[in-house]
Amino acid sequence: MYSINPENASNFVAGVDLAFFIILGVSIFFLVAITAAMIIFIRKYNREKHPEAIQNEGSTKLEIIWTVIPLLIVLVMFYFGWMGWKPMKTPPEDAMRVKAIARMWNFKFEYENGKLTDSLYVPLNQPVILDLVALDVLHSLYIPAFRVKEDMVPGNIKQMWFIPGQVGSYDLFCTEYCGLEHSYMYTGVHVMHEDEFDEWLKDTTAVAPVVAEDASPADRGFQVLVKNGCNACHSSDGSKLVGPSYLGNWGNMRKVTAGGEKTEVLFDKEYIRKSIYDPNAEIADGFNKGLMLSYEGLVSEEEIELIIEYIRSLNE
Amino acid sequence: MSENKQHDAQKSYLEETGGRKGIFKWILSTDHKRIGLLYLYSIMSWFFIGVTLGVLMKLELIAPGITIMGAQSYNATFTVHGVIMIFLIVIPGLPAVFGNFMLPIQIGAKDVAFPKLNLLSWYIYIAGSILVVSSLFAGGGPPDTGWTFYAPYSFKTGTNMLPAVLGAFVLGFSSILTGLNFLVTIHRLRAPGMTWLKMPVFPWTLYGTAWIQLLATPIVGITLLMVIGERIFNIGFFDPAKGGDPILYQHLFWIYSHPAVYIMILPAMGAISEIIPTFARKTIFGYRAIIVSTLAIAFVGYFVWGHHMFTSGMSGTALFTFSILTFIVAIPSAIKVFNWVSTMHQGSISADVPFLWAASFIFVFMIGGLTGLILGALAVNVHVHDTAFVVGHFHFIVFGGTGFAFFGALHYWFPKIYGRMYDRAWAKTGWIIFFIGFITLYGPMFYLGIRGMPRRYFDYLPDYHGPNIISSLGALVMVTGFVIIVINLFKSARSGEKAEMNPWGGTNLEWRIPSPPPLENFDEIPTIDKATYKYD
Ligand SMILES: [Cu+2]
Ligand SMILES: [Cu+2]
């Protein structure tokens, strides 16, 4: 990290790296010194050269020395760790706020003006506070170049903040294991000059993937699925992922559990609509409740029509 | 004690079958030595599975994208690898195998305090193991939650995690009962004259461990029960939608699982403290400091669990406290290292196989401990938490520490256990290959973590490719060493040269009885008048 990422990628890099290098330096010193001592003793006091051991039961003085000195050293290490960490918990008041929303298995970022993006855009040298929202399970938002990480806990909105110090693009990972596609839950952070960023922020249409108006309804339906990350859990080719495949159910009877009872319902428009807005009302047999979250407010009625067109088209 | 008795007429515990035949000689015997070996064989069998899963993971990670398996299989593989390695191998590990075999002998007793309970503990262990392993084959596929079973994912996944959790729960009982048995044994059955401060270090570390097993294991039991309740009855302890708190789960889990690290490492330190004086022909340096630091680790180890949760959102005060205690708990381990190295000073060292394992233990254990300091510092932890760095760190501690000590102990006590010696040249070859492979396998993980590669990643960005290749190749080298070691021991147990009573020149009681020991260890309970590790 230390060579390829700029030293001032964020305001925390210096504090974290200082603590890291101090501890690393001391550790390497002790590792080398003790290992060397061991190797020297093994050679020098080898039984062939040194047939008779010189007994020595110990020394209180030495015990005290090697308790107290390491204790002082680790307290210094602790101090640097603490000092590097403290500013992470004290965000400035006037920071720009962005809501970071995690769900299996993508991030979404919502700006104060309602703009919604898949990756994070931030202005250079401006403090940014991220409000961390997890919708389903634990996730963790990690930007290695910035040295920041905070777990995202459902039901508990936490904050993290930083000041980006260098224009460029950086990786952003989910580091708390969150199921099947955990390792694909990453995106980017883009740091822009402030005026550029302001231009970008004003334009609330540019980043949302444009669905060509002239595409067929089924194709546009597929775009809706892509845009909302549905395909992380659902396949179009019949293979079983975390959720059932879109393929081969349309118009058939579907075995479900509704309100604890096993029943069968027709896989039709109404069923699909309900599956998207209230997924836990009818649980498809062989799948687990609680994994899919409601998309009410995220997927519009018109978009559901397009999804239905797409699912129906798979039967042809 | 009465040294030069005529032992040859006595039958060894391996010949003494109690009238039972075949496998019943083993699974019905309450002899602590046979039970120790039952654990050895069961643990070794699970270890083969655990290692195989680990190698499969390393092969998967040798290149980005799907190499040999898909994401679901990978997630299940690291979960089952972790569950097997932690709950079936390293937690029981040294206490169950060498504790059972050596503890009564080292304190001059004929058996543990409750031999039948001891056998029962093994049965419980096997029942728990079978439950865990059954999760692989039955139901909705092997569990994919990671060995930590973090809520709320652990009760949302469709995979078969209940048997794994239930298995871990059952294994807890085995651990508690073994701990209890050892505590009573040490309190009640020490030979006349063996005062606490004449007791060798290995029993001392078992003593510290036994307290942790007894006091900490019930907490994980309750936690696992809560997960079961959560999954079956939807109670909502950990579900924010029902007013629960997922972080509560983490606290409960680590309150046990951090001390559990010390269940793994204390007896390992005990074994190292046996090996080094023997091969240096020198009494252990700072016996009392080693004992006190053992108890200090067992005690302070209860109060540092929060260092697994520095990014979970605890208060600043909590983080301050957990971080500072984490640094302090490193001190007793450092004291031990200093004392071991000082024991070598002016000794008369024979760098035989067990000593090589012990010395390499000190080396890898230092790396594990020092990287623990990096993790304990709050600022740095934020950066490396949940990355490959952590994976490197705990493999150096748990595998480098406990694992190296286990192999060291195995090579040290092997002639006593089987009455036969292994081929030392092969044992050394196996050791050096294993050691090189180990460093190559886990070393790159530190670098990957510092560069920001998260752990539990089935796939990674191309930037991380290089170190992953090295790591995977290291795995293959290490496994080669492992195979050599195992084949050598396996062959020697059957047909090795006959071993003497005291092939290494050790001073403790196990070296004053025949190899292999007779059924009741001593025909006459010895009286102890000397301090332990006396070479004059
Ligand atoms: Cu995630
Ligand atoms: Cu811990």
* Chain A CB within 8 Å of residue B450 CB: yes
Q: Would residue A52 count as lying in a domain?
A: yes
- Please give the structure tokens belonging to residue B364: 């890898």
Q: Would residue A3 count as lying in a domain?
A: no
- How would residue A206 be classed by pLDDT, with cut points 50, 70 and 90? low
**Are the Cβ atoms of B71 and A287 closer than 8 angstroms?**
no
The count of domains in chain A is 3
Between B536 and B75, where is the model more confident? B75
Same domain, A226 and A308: yes
**Are the Cβ atoms of A81 and B280 closer than 8 angstroms?**
no
Residues with CB under 5 A from ligand 2 (ion): B 258
**Are the Cβ atoms of A180 and B72 closer than 8 angstroms?**
yes
Say which range, B6-20, B298-312, B335-349, B380-394, has the weakest mean pLDDT.
B6-20
Query: Which residue in chain B has the smallest CA separation from A183?
Result: B457
Q: What is the pLDDT of residue A147?
A: 93
Same domain, A277 and A198: no
Stretch 334-363 of chain B: residues touching chain A, C-beta under 8 Å: 334-335, 337-339, 341-342, 344-351, 359, 362-363
Same domain, A264 and A194: no
Residue A205 in this model has a pLDDT that exceeds 60: yes
* Mean of all residue pLDDT scores within chain B: 89
Q: Would residue A142 count as lying in a domain?
A: yes
Q: Which domain holds residue A72?
A: 13-89
* Mean of all residue pLDDT scores within chain A: 87
* Chain A CB within 8 Å of residue B69 CB: no
- How would residue A255 be classed by pLDDT, with cut points 50, 70 and 90? confident
Q: Smallest Cβ distance to B457: which of A35, A41, A183?
A: A183
Q: Would residue A6 count as lying in a domain?
A: no
CATH code for position A125:
2.60.40.420
Q: Would residue A211 count as lying in a domain?
A: no
Q: What is the pLDDT of residue B208?
A: 92
Q: What is the pLDDT of residue B16?
A: 79
Q: Smallest Cβ distance to B289: which of A55, A63, A183?
A: A63
CATH code for position A230:
1.10.760.10
Q: Would residue A83 count as lying in a domain?
A: yes
Residue A191 in this model has a pLDDT that exceeds 90: yes
Residue A207 in this model has a pLDDT that exceeds 70: no
Same domain, A106 and A81: no
Q: What is the pLDDT of residue A211?
A: 54
What's the mean pLDDT in B329-346? 93
Same domain, A104 and A122: yes
Query: Over the stretch A220-233, which tens digit does the pLDDT of each residue have?
Result: 888 888 878 788 78
What's the mean pLDDT in B217-239? 83
Q: What is the pLDDT of residue B101?
A: 93
Say which range, A136-140, B49-53, B232-236, has the weakest mean pLDDT.
B232-236
Please tell me the number of Cα atoms within 13 Å of A172 on its side-chain side. Answer: 22
Say which range, A309-313, B325-329, B430-434, has the weakest mean pLDDT.
A309-313
Residue B15 Cα, ligand 1 centroid: separation in angstroms? 57
Q: Would residue A208 count as lying in a domain?
A: no
What's the mean pLDDT in A43-54? 88
**Are the Cβ atoms of B153 and A144 closer than 8 angstroms?**
no
- How would residue A132 be classed by pLDDT, with cut points 50, 70 and 90? very high
Q: What is the pLDDT of residue B393?
A: 95
Q: What is the pLDDT of residue B2?
A: 40
What's the mean pLDDT in B478-495? 94
The span from the CA of A18 to the CA of A7, in Å, is 11
What's the mean pLDDT in A257-273? 85
- How would residue A1 be classed by pLDDT, with cut points 50, 70 and 90? very low
Q: What is the pLDDT of residue B1?
A: 38
Same domain, A287 and A223: yes
> Domains in chain B, please, with CATH?
20-512 (1.20.210.10)
What's the mean pLDDT in B198-223? 90
Same domain, A83 and A106: no
Query: Measured between CA atoms, how close is B302 to chain A, in angstroms?
Result: 19
Cβ distance B454 to B461 under 8 Å? no
Same domain, A189 and A162: yes
Residue A29 in this model has a pLDDT that exceeds 60: yes
CATH code for position A18:
1.10.287
Burial environment of residue B267 by CB neighbours within 10 A (0 to 12, 13 to 18, 19 or more): buried
Chain A hits for B367, Cβ within 8 Å: 31
Say which range, A74-88, A205-219, B509-523, has the weakest mean pLDDT.
A205-219
Chain B hits for A242, Cβ within 8 Å: 158
Q: Would residue A5 count as lying in a domain?
A: no
The model's pTM is 0.88
Q: What is the pLDDT of residue B402?
A: 92
Same domain, A100 and A85: no
Residue B4 in this model has a pLDDT that exceeds 50: no
Residue A201 in this model has a pLDDT that exceeds 50: yes
- How would residue B6 be classed by pLDDT, with cut points 50, 70 and 90? very low
